[in-house]
Structures are given as structure tokens and as C-alpha cells.
Amino acid sequence: MRKTTENLLEEIRSKALEMNLSQQQVRIVELVFEHRTIAEIAGLLGITPDPYSYDALEPYIGRRTVELHYSRHHQSYVNGLNEAERQIDEARRTGDMSLIRYWSREIAFNGSGHVLHSIYWTNMTPGGPRTPGPLLTAELRRVFPSFDSFQRQFTAAAEQVEGSGWAILTFNPSWHRLDVLEAEKHEDLTQWGSVPILVVDVWEHAYYLDYQNRRWDYIEAWWHLVNWSDVERRLALAMMANVPLT
């Protein structure tokens, strides 16, 4: 007999209890079942970050920059992701795959934009710890001669991104190693499987009002805002991931 959605949800709930999933994780599974888009789920669960007021990052990043960046630029990626997911759902329903290349690119661009901006907002805080946590310190030591050397490479990567993009500290759970990557736009130059744990947005919309074309000054100021507790949390979670290559 075909299971009803209600039967399936009930099964998921009891399975989730067995697996010790949190209430929020259970709710996510339920929302996926209700065919909500990823961005809708994030919104419904309050996951989309808004952890501080628009002026909280001053004097390093001005109120107007944060407001426009969060409420217009980031929002447009969320909207774009929702629209692409709707269109792809529609293509699956009708079987018309003629525009699938376009919508796949939209999913990659807007989805990556939403992911990176969400990490960017939580990677910053007005008054967090000024130094990396013990886990990150240990992992950095394995690949960089010193913390300064890591900072120099990350800053140079951010400074040298061609056009609009990001510098990203990643941890790859397949071979347990930190790396510094650049992304052009949000999704080009990605390494598959790597997990971003610290990101800086170097699209001009992130700094132009405050620093005009002085990207270097913005990056220097941004270092004062890094939320090392958040980076530590993200690293710990990435290290627990089990992603075998073969």
C-alpha cells in the first residue's frame, strides 16, 4: 500500500527521535517533505542570519553598507535561488528540459551567493575573541609556518581576486586539511568537497561606500571583525564530516 505523506512524516519523526536529531533538524526534514525551497526553509527556521544591527560593525564597515548589502544584495541571491528552484520543479513536472542549463547556472550562482553571505555575516562580530580557538590554531600550524603567514596568504588572495569574488579558508573533510581558495563571482574556482569556514566578500558592494576602490584597506579593517568562535565552530563541524573519496 502506498504510504500517505502523513504516514511518512510520522515515520520520519520516530526515526529522528531514534537518531537523536534535534527539534530543528526534524523540522527541516518535514519542510523538505512539504517541498519548500532551501531558502524558504532557512527563512522559516530563522536560519538566515541577522545577528546584529546594521551599525554594529562600525567603524570598520558602515551602517549603510551593511544595510544595502544584507537587505538588497544578499536578498537578491535568496530570491534568485527560490526562483531557480521553482523553475526546476516546474521543468521536472512538465518534462521540458530546454532551459535546464540556464536554471542550473542560476542555482549554482544564487545558491553559492546565499551560502557565502550567510557564512560572511556570522563570521563577523563587533566584539568577539581576538585570536583563533585551539582547534583552528592546531590545524593552521599543520599547514602554515605561522599565523602571520596564514593571514598574509588570505589577505593576498582577497586582494588579488579578479573582479567580484571571495577569499575563503576551507577545510576538506576528504583529506583533512585547510586551504585558502579564491572564488570568482560566488561559485567559480571551487574545490569540490571543501567546506568554507572563514570567508571575506570582496565584491565592491561590500566596501565601496566606505573605502571606494581601496580593497586592501577594507580587508585590513575586516580582520578586526572576525568572529573566531564562529570559525572554530565551523571547523569542528567540518572535521566531523565523513566524506570518503572512494
Buried b or exposed e, range 65-89, using 16+ CB within 10 angstroms: bbebbbeeebeebbebbbbbbebbe
**CB under 8 Å to 138, separation ≥6 — which residues?**
none
Binding to Fe ion in span 73-102, by CB under 5 A: 73
**Contacting range for Fe ion; rule: CB under 5 A; set: 30-38, 58-66, 80-88, 202-210:** 202-210
Applying CB under 5 A, the span of 53-61, 126-134, 193-201, 223-231 interacting with Fe ion comes to 193-201
Give CA–CA dist 144/139, Å, rounded: 9
State which residue, 70 or 144, has the beta carbon closest to Fe ion: 70
Decide if 128 contacts 226 (C-beta within 8 A).
yes
Please tell me whether residue 210 binds Fe ion under the rule CB under 5 A. Answer: no
Nearer Cβ to Fe ion, position 27 or 73? 73
Does 201 sit near Fe ion (CB under 5 A)? Answer: yes
**Part in contact with Fe ion (CB under 5 A); list of ranges 65-73, 170-178, 222-230, 232-240:** 65-73
Q: How far is the CB of 104 from Fe ion (least distance, A)?
A: 22
Check binding of 222 to Fe ion (CB under 5 A).
no
What three-state secondary structure class fits 74? helix
Number of Cβ within 10 Å of residue 20's Cβ equals 7
Q: 239 near 173, Cβ under 8 Å?
A: yes
- Options 54, 103, 109, 203; binder of Fe ion; rule CB under 5 A: 203
Question: How many amino acids of this chain bind Fe ion (CB under 5 A)?
Answer: 3
Would you say 141 or 214 has its CB closer to Fe ion? 214
Q: Contact letters (x/-) for Fe ion, 18-57, by CB under 5 A? A: ----------------------------------------
CA 85 to chain centre: 18
Q: Please say whether the beta carbons of 69 and 112 come within 8 A.
A: no
Q: Record the cell numbers describing residue 110, joined without a space.
A: 544564487
Q: Point out which residues bind Fe ion (CB under 5 A).
A: 73, 201, 203
